[in-house]
Structure 1
């Protein structure tokens, strides 16, 4: 089967959308005339018939392809793997860029022209357009008559460009499918599609080995990486190993490297580097480990537990609370009590700000529909980020992801059906689909999100329906495949399914009445018990003491020795040493407040503890933003090194009070012991109620 590049784009567009599209719309998207679209459509009817599909044209309405979904998917796969004799201008420029990235020496223009079946003049025009693209990554094109063309610049810039090209042009599901196929492909087989060409930049057999090494150290990760970040990290490692073997060094600023070495992510990167060194028989330099650390720090994460007790997260938490208050004020809806929103924003903003500060960037394939469907909310969040992050330019792609968190918060409900949402592109797509589901089908109120990676580990019987944006293995049961924006006909089909299901089975909230609790129920009850026990213990041990004529370090030493005498800790010196080590990693003062949070987890701590100390004279400490600041109150928060998730959740909630709002900060900084105790106990009670309620959904 042969189709031209333009015909292929036309087919792909029709197969991707079930609604009628006018010839005018198609002509505008393809940048051709309406007459050209009519002519191409006539030639495509025979192609569609081979797959049992039909092109239906309705005067005054539009054009659409009708037929079985499996047949549409089969044709889409065929188009993907078709040997193309003609590329679109965008594909052709991408192919030229790939060829330059692969080359170790200048490439002749006539060679590029022959490979792409175009003239040298066309290649030259394509290079003109590519110059701006590569300049954005700190790269440049060297073009000389008789010399050819060469892509020059730092190794790290080239890797960043490769990673960005893969992210923008190969989605996760396609990546996994093509990776499996290309591992089995003979070396001399041609790579025809742009996606395959991009994957050709990566040694695919290395990917499997790298994934094995990551799996060995995965348990040390503080969170689970989102799919897009995981794939970007694996690809980066494959490229790095290839460059190391070729003796190509990466350069890293010494001061930046020293700052990274003090992070938890650097510890993980070192462990992974040792594993990769053994697997590939290479020495990984410290600069490469630094770059691995940056990938981990810029990654999107899936879990929230325990994150808010970290200094950088607490500083970001203040920005998150300010953004929530800004959006609440503009919308006239109070979202300040939505703890899920707060935690989601902290989890997203921490790596997002790191990415922005280091020029790493992020793609958002759903930006246009987000801007269209949430225009008012998008404008409000954009204004909020501009006001709060004035020193950091936040691109629309990041704003789009923030909008999804707020949209989800606005549509939260309490009871209804349970749904599992499977998405290939990580947190963003899953979040927007979950938001659309709650808007279109309010009866679906318990929505869990999982990636393609996690799909096989899920117990599908725990859900009323499975919804996915990508094809899944059908042997695990039926599921709905939908677009991330959830079209009306897709929502209608799901509503019909649930109406039929409700006639034969009880809703999930009713199933909870079963006298035989399952293992998940037992696990939940144990977690509730640990949370209750932790809250009671911390409130019983709470105290606010006024200390005179003491430095911060002096009062911490006295405080730890008193806690040792009371049996909270077993080794005061060990805890003091841990507190000072944490202080050496970064400031502990909470910016724009007179508070400092000194906290540690240690095996010398037997049970969680919260105590506070009011200084009679202000002391100067380093703030979490790196600037010196004056404080009058020290908050000492201690936890066991092996604290479970339930305990960490309580500790995280307490730390979040330091950035919650002006009123809470004022009480913590100036209130007496009774006032501060009342504030903390009230918010811990609200936290427990929220946790208890969420487990009954």
Structure 2
């Protein structure tokens, strides 16, 4: 594939990046460009690929398909080529598999809850194997869900996964690598996990372990081309290795233009940077030679900062009025949402042995409480959601139903205690007996803070022994006190 063709493809991909509602990691961008270059080469040689119509019809309704169509149309004009719809489908898969973003409601997405359950299983397996409690890191769960969702999609669709750092990761973390190889086989028995993907997962766990021993001083920017995992593990290594470092931000190469680089004491990059004079180029795995160079650079920065302090003592700057107003407004929004959810905390008992009846009765009860309108419509939405995948939480007697609808005026969290167990499909696709339904409802338009709290509550339910035991106790006061205290702890963290 010649360079001119690559350049044209890059320009075309750049033209549709703004249409995406999430940033493309550099690795995903490069992967997409390479895929397109090979596809065009193939089509010019009259070699065509096929895609099942059933699967293609599922892709057509996605936002990514619409963007892929726009991209294909531009490429057809660029290369004077007719590109079949199957190619649009494969580009859609690339875009869907490239979603690397932190939405406040990410865990609450239908397909994310089952991934969160699997991520919890991985954390549990590794915690036991290395005898460290990794459940204390909510960031690890979040990062694993963000990473695994597109990765599992790629594995299921037999898409190639490339990880040029695999050998180095295995060399640096041999024991953790072995543990994760066993863990992914245990948690995903029906999937063939490539070693390259296992290495990515190892990076997330290694980053978590390194941060558990973190240190604190300078503000550092890490620039990487290969996405979240590489940047995170390098950032964690920097904080562990250098006590002088207080804060590390990591950004992709394409986001540098939006940053105030002057606000960083040190820029560390794994790739050469044009138009930036002062930065330290390092290997992502931070070998000894790079550690020595960074030590030298940090000493220089510290000396310069010390000299500035001697020349002109500067008092700690007051925050601006706008910053203070934004901070206070944020706290007020959290307080409002916490108050709403606490007011919308219900425990309902049902004597029915039919799940549809249970949900209908509960929705009518919530209408009487002013928590929702149109009970029949919400019941149908909840039952329809179940057709797309199991909702039971494996290893428990709990089932989580959730939906966001315009006819729900305020968020609510309802625990439904069943007199008779009902057979439900679990998130692991196995059938299970449930005697407690959890019903999480939210307005279609809800604030970022509200989504964050609802997402927090959903993660509590996924394989958490304390919450499982509390909800299974069927004691109303105990359940309400537990949920209230968890929300209170969440709010206190936001205040600190």
Tell me the TM-score normalized by structure 2.
Answer: 0.86
| Relative contact order, higher structure (CA 8 A, sep 6+) | 2
Q: Does 1:560 align with 2:363?
A: yes
Q: Does 1:459 align with 2:260?
A: yes
**Does the 8 Å CA contact 1:304/1:344 hold for their aligned counterparts?**
no
Aligned to 2:20: 218
**Does the 8 Å CA contact 1:302/1:427 hold for their aligned counterparts?**
no
Displacement of 1:572: 3.8
Alignment of 1:649-668 (within 5 A): 649-668=452-471
**Does the 8 Å CA contact 1:586/1:626 hold for their aligned counterparts?**
yes
Describe the shift of the 1:505–1:397 C-alpha distance in structure 2 as closer, same or farther (beyond 3 A): farther
Aligned to 2:164: 365
Alignment of 1:29-68 (within 5 A): none
**Equivalent residues, number:** 484
Describe the shift of the 1:683–1:290 C-alpha distance in structure 2 as closer, same or farther (beyond 3 A): farther
Q: Distance in 2 between matches of 1:410 and 1:512?
A: 36
Cα offsets for 1:188-224 (capped at 9, x unmatched): xxxxxxxxx4656x56424423431342x213xxx43
Alignment of 1:304-319 (within 5 A): 305-319=104-118
Aligned to 2:280: 480
**Does the 8 Å CA contact 2:393/2:463 hold for their aligned counterparts?**
no
**Does the 8 Å CA contact 1:623/1:629 hold for their aligned counterparts?**
yes
Describe the shift of the 1:364–1:634 C-alpha distance in structure 2 as closer, same or farther (beyond 3 A): same
Aligned to 1:323: 122
Q: Distance in 1 between matches of 2:65 and 2:158?
A: 23
**Does the 8 Å CA contact 1:606/1:639 hold for their aligned counterparts?**
yes
Aligned to 2:49: 250
Cα offsets for 1:29-62 (capped at 9, x unmatched): xxxxxxxxxxxxxxxxxxxxxxxxxxxxxxxxxx
Alignment of 1:65-80 (within 5 A): none
Larger Rg over CA atoms: 1
Describe the shift of the 1:576–1:330 C-alpha distance in structure 2 as closer, same or farther (beyond 3 A): same
Cα offsets for 1:570-626 (capped at 9, x unmatched): 444443443344233323222333222111122222222111212221223333334
Aligned to 1:232: 31
Displacement of 1:300: 5.6
Match of 2:427 among 609, 617, 624: 624
Alignment of 1:461-610 (within 5 A): 461-474=262-275, 478-486=278-286, 487-504=290-307, 514-517=317-320, 522-549=325-352, 551-610=354-413
Q: Distance in 2 between matches of 1:523 and 1:691?
A: 14
Displacement of 1:228: 0.9
Match of 2:66 among 246, 251, 271: 271
Aligned to 1:417: 218
Describe the shift of the 1:579–1:511 C-alpha distance in structure 2 as closer, same or farther (beyond 3 A): farther
Q: Distance in 2 between matches of 1:686 and 1:501?
A: 42
Q: Distance in 1 between matches of 2:262 and 2:456?
A: 33
Which SS does the other structure have where 1:309 is aligned?
Answer: coil
Which SS does the other structure have where 1:307 is aligned?
Answer: coil
Which SS does the other structure have where 2:400 is aligned?
Answer: strand
Which SS does the other structure have where 1:614 is aligned?
Answer: strand
**Does the 8 Å CA contact 1:609/1:638 hold for their aligned counterparts?**
yes
Describe the shift of the 1:255–1:603 C-alpha distance in structure 2 as closer, same or farther (beyond 3 A): same
Displacement of 1:653: 1.1
Displacement of 1:638: 1.6
Describe the shift of the 1:209–1:371 C-alpha distance in structure 2 as closer, same or farther (beyond 3 A): closer
Aligned to 1:388: 187
Displacement of 1:393: 3.2
* Cα RMSD for the two superposed structures: 3.2
Match of 1:400 among 199, 204, 207: 199
Q: Does 1:345 align with 2:147?
A: no
Q: Distance in 2 between matches of 1:325 and 1:624?
A: 17
Displacement of 1:241: 6.7
Match of 1:435 among 231, 236, 244: 236
**Does the 8 Å CA contact 1:224/1:302 hold for their aligned counterparts?**
yes
Describe the shift of the 1:224–1:256 C-alpha distance in structure 2 as closer, same or farther (beyond 3 A): same
Q: Distance in 2 between matches of 1:372 and 1:511?
A: 46
Q: Which moved more, 1:234-243 or 1:446-455?
A: 234-243
Cα offsets for 1:649-696 (capped at 9, x unmatched): 211111111214233223223342222223323333343344445xxx
Displacement of 1:244: 6.9
Which SS does the other structure have where 2:477 is aligned?
Answer: helix
Flag structure 2 segments of 5+ consecutive residues without an equivalent: none
Displacement of 1:439: 1.9
Q: Distance in 1 between matches of 2:12 and 2:495?
A: 43
Tell me the TM-score normalized by structure 1.
Answer: 0.63
